[in-house]
Amino acid sequence: MTDFGAKSISKFSVKPLDMTCCIKADSGESGYGKAVSENTFELILACCKSIATELSFPEIMTPTLIQLRSFLKKKCKNPEVAKKFKTLIEKV
């Protein structure tokens, strides 16, 4: 779990983590939150792409969109992450 409400502690940027083979990461790293948000965004987008032609697409995506809206409203203080997921919600 990561806290997206907290601002990045360090000012320097680090190479983003590769989440495909990441076993353990320190949530205090500056690239960790960005890597988690990027990976989550890509996975939701891939899921939408794979079921886009299904008749039950709205019923499948509704719970995800509700959770994303709740996350953006209550917990997300990072403007980059918020903008990315708001765009995703609009497109879906």
48-85 pLDDT per residue, tens? 999 999 999 999 999 999 999 999 998 888 888 899 99
Percent of the chain with pLDDT over 90: 46
Cα gap 3→54, rounded to integer Å: 34
Give the residue with greater pLDDT, 25 vs 13. 25
Structure tokens at 78: 């990072």
Mean pLDDT in residue range 84-91: 92
Q: What is the pLDDT of residue 30?
A: 64
The dihedral formed by the CA atoms of 23, 24, 27 and 29, expressed in degrees to the nearest 10? -90
Cβ contacts of 61 within 8 Å, gap of 6 or more: 48, 51, 92
